[in-house]
Amino acid sequence: MKHRLELLATFPIEIIWHENKTIYFSVKKENGIYSLRLHRLFHDAPSPVLEALLRYAVRRDKKAKAIIRQMAHLHFSRNVAEAKPLPPVGSVYDLKEVFDRLLPLVPIEGVSIGWSDRRGRGRLRSITFGTFDHHTRQIRINPILDDEQVPLYFLEYIVYHEMLHALCPSKMDGSGRCTVHSKEFREKERQFPRFVEAKVWEKGCFTFFKKRRQSGRS
Ligand SMILES: [Zn+2]
């Protein structure tokens, strides 16, 4: 059976459905046929969204792009997928304990936390200490912080920051662009009890982690 998108198109198209959430829409034109790789989220999309997909495929229309992004944003913020469970107990720090202690400051629900299984072995130019996945509502913390020489308040600050992401969802402007750290987010972040100390430690941490790595610990 033809998909509604194929019925809407006035030019030859081919659709490949997938579930890759980082590239939810891409288009290629080959031999006069538009090949659309689409995330399943668009399968039952309302017609204006399907029309936007076609407009974007042919004309790279900016307004169409905004509609597509808004649809994806809505989908991923509403549908909570199951997260692969990660261990919260490290060799030094217990993330669940940290999380529970911060919960009165950041009241959130349905969020899990664990040590990430990826350390990021590349060059130490920038380190991602934590991430929050809106899709699975999971906080992942970089295991390089599971270290007795990393002060607890710094780990707490990182966890607090990621918890705020669950509390203050990213905002979207009219062009479909996301602001991850909104003004409201930054204000709440500064309310972390040892914010200044944590920021100071963060500044010097590259040298710290470099030395730790050289000493063969990580
Ligand atoms: Zn952030």
- Domains present along the chain, CATH in parentheses: 4-78 (no CATH), 95-214 (3.30.2010.10)
Site of tokens 């509609």: 67
CB-CB neighbours of 168 under 10 Å: 19
| Backbone phi, psi, residue 112, to 5° | -110, 160
In the reported structure, the alpha carbon of residue 130 is separated from the centroid of ligand 1 by a whole-number distance in angstroms of 8
pTM for the model stands at: 0.66
* Six-digit token string for 211: 């030395």
Q: What is the pLDDT of residue 217?
A: 54
Q: What is the pLDDT of residue 216?
A: 67
How many angstroms is it from 174 CA to the middle of ligand 1?
Answer: 22
Q: How far is the CA of 210 from the centre of ligand 1 (A)?
A: 23
Which of 103, 184, 187 is CA-nearest to residue 139?
103
CA 213 – ligand 1 centroid, Å: 25
For ligand 1, the distance from its centroid to the CA atom of residue 36, given in whole angstroms, is 32
Question: Distance from the CA of 209 to the center of ligand 1, in angstroms?
Answer: 20
Measured in Å, residue 160 CA sits from the centre of ligand 1 at: 10
Structure confidence at residue 121 (pLDDT)? 56
Helices (H), 27-182: 47-59, 62-78, 95-102, 152-167
- 188 CA → ligand 1 middle, Å: 12
pLDDT along the chain (218 residues), means of 10: 90 92 89 94 92 94 93 81 88 98 95 86 71 90 95 98 90 72 92 96 89 72
Report CA(61)–ligand 1 centroid distance (Å): 30
Burial zone of 167 (CB within 10 Å; 0-12 exposed, 13-18 middle, 19+ buried)? middle
In sign, the C-alpha dihedral spanning 108, 111, 113, 116 is negative
Q: State in Å: Cα 180 to ligand 1 middle.
A: 7
**What's the 119 CA to ligand 1 centre distance in angstroms?**
18
The confidence score (pLDDT) of residue 168 equals 86
**How far apart are the CA of 165 and the centre of ligand 1, in A?**
7
pLDDT of residue 119: 65
- The two three-digit tokens of residue 204, written as one number: 């010097």
Reading the block at residue 166, the tokens are: 């669950």
Query: How much is the pLDDT for 78?
Result: 75
Q: How far is the CA of 141 from the centre of ligand 1 (A)?
A: 12
Distance 181 CA to ligand 1 centre (A): 6
Q: 69 alpha carbon to ligand 1 midpoint, in Å? A: 20
The edge-to-edge listing of strands for the beta sheet with 130-133 is 112-115, 138-141, 130-133
Task: Please give the distance, rounded to the nearest whole angstrom, from the Cα atom of residue 70 to the centre of ligand 1.
Answer: 20
